[in-house]
C-alpha cells in the first residue's frame, strides 16, 4: 500500500515561470491537504480539498496560487509567475477522514526559484 | 483559530538520557494531538498521537502526556539513541466548520542526541 506520493521531489523554476506540484493521496483517502514549509520554519496550512471541491483555502496567498483535486488523477498545487519568496518545501497530506483526527504526509516537493 | 506554542526550539541530550518537548494550545475544544518527526530532506512522519479521552499514551520509548485543564501536552523520549536526532513538531486540530479540518503546527524542536 503506497503512501502519499508527491512529484517531483525537486523542482527548479526561473522567476516568472509556473510551477505544478502533484500529490496522489493514499488509497482510500479522500481528503487532501497542502502545507508549505519555509527553511528553518514549521508547516503552514495552505488548502484543504476533497474530490472536485475546495473546502478551505484560508492559507493560500490570494494571487498566483491555486489548487485542485479532480475526480480522476492527483491533486495539483499550481503557482503562477513564481518569485524567489515561493522557494520552500511543499508537503501534501491525506487522511481518510478529517486530518484533525489523523493524517499522513508525503515526502514533499522542494521548489527552488532562481 | 488554534494557536500552538512549542518549547524548546533546540534540545541537546546525551545518548541514553531522556528528552522532553512541550506544547501548549489555545482551543479548549481540540481533542486530538499528534507528534511528527521530520528528518532532513524528508516529510513529517507521525510517531504518536493522543486523544483527549486519555491522559497518557506510550509506544516503546516514546510517550505523550496530555493535560486538558492546562491545555498542554508533552512528548517524552526515553533511552535516546542517535537515530532520534531530528526535528519534532506538535500539532493540534483547528477549523471553522468542525474544528478539525486542519492541523496547526508548533514551530518545531531540533533534537540532537550526543553520542
pLDDT of res. A107:
95
Question: Which residues of chain A have a CB within 8 Å of the CB of B96?
Answer: 56, 58
3-state class (DSSP) for residue B61:
coil
Is residue A99 very low, low, confident or very high in pLDDT (cuts 50, 70, 90)?
low
Phi-psi region of A37 (alpha: psi -120 to 50; beta: other; left: phi over 0): beta
Which residue of B97, B103, B106 is in closest CB contact with A103? B103
Strand partners, B19: B77
Q: Which residues of B touch A (CB under 8 A)?
A: 32, 34, 36, 42-46, 49, 89, 93-108
Question: Could you read off the pLDDT of B8-61 as tens digits, one per residue?
Answer: 999 999 999 999 999 999 988 888 899 999 999 899 999 999 987 779 999 999
Report the alpha-carbon distance of residue A40 to residue B73 in Å, rounded. Answer: 23
pLDDT of res. B20:
98
User: Burial, B46: exposed, middle or buried (Cβ in 10 Å; 0-12, 13-18, 19+)?
Assistant: middle
pLDDT of res. A102:
65
Interface test with B, best of A36, A43, A56, A92 (most B CBs within 10 A): A43
3-state class (DSSP) for residue A52:
coil
Question: Could you read off the pLDDT of A39-92 as tens digits, one per residue?
Answer: 878 899 999 999 899 988 999 999 999 999 999 999 999 999 999 999 999 999
pLDDT of res. A77:
98
Report the alpha-carbon distance of residue A31 to residue A26 in Å, rounded. Answer: 10
Query: Which A-chain residues 35-74 have CB contacts (< 8 A) with chain B?
Result: 35, 41-45, 48, 55-56, 58-59
| Residue whose C-alpha is closest to residue A58's, from B107, B48, B61, B2 | B2
Question: Could you read off the pLDDT of B63-110 as tens digits, one per residue?
Answer: 999 999 999 999 999 999 999 999 999 999 876 666 567 888 999 999
Amino acid at each position: 500500500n503506497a503512501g502519499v506520493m508527491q512529484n517531483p521531489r525537486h523542482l527548479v523554476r526561473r522567476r516568472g515561470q509556473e510551477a505544478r506540484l502533484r500529490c496522489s493521496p493514499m488509497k482510500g483517502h479522500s481528503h487532501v491537504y497542502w502545507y508549505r514549509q519555509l527553511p528553518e520554519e514549521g508547516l503552514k496550512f495552505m488548502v484543504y480539498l476533497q474530490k472536485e471541491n475546495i473546502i478551505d483555502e484560508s492559507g493560500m496567498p490570494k494571487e498566483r496560487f491555486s489548487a485542485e483535486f479532480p475526480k480522476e488523477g492527483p491533486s495539483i498545487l499550481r503557482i503562477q509567475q513564481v518569485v524567489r519568496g515561493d522557494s520552500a518545501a511543499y508537503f501534501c497530506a491525506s487522511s481518510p477522514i478529517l486530518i484533525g483526527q489523523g493524517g499522513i504526509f508525503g515526502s514533499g516537493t522542494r521548489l527552488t526559484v532562481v | 483559530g488554534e494557536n500552538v506554542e512549542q518549547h524548546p526550539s533546540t534540545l541537546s541530550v546525551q545518548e541514553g538520557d531522556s528528552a522532553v518537548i512541550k506544547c501548549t494550545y489555545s482551543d479548549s475544544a481540540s481533542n486530538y494531538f499528534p507528534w511528527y518527526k521530520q528528518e532532513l530532506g524528508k516529510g513529517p512522519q507521525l510517531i504518536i498521537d493522543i486523544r483527549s479521552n486519555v491522559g497518557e499514551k506510550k509506544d516503546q520509548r516514546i510517550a505523550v502526556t496530555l493535560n486538558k485543564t492546562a491545555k498542554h501536552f508533552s512528548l517524552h523520549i526515553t533511552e535516546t539513541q542517535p537515530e532520534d536526532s531530528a526535528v519534532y513538531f506538535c500539532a493540534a486540530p483547528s477549523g471553522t466548520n468542525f474544528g478539525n479540518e486542519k492541523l496547526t503546527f508548533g514551530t518545531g524542536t531540533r533534537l540532537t542526541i550526543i553520542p
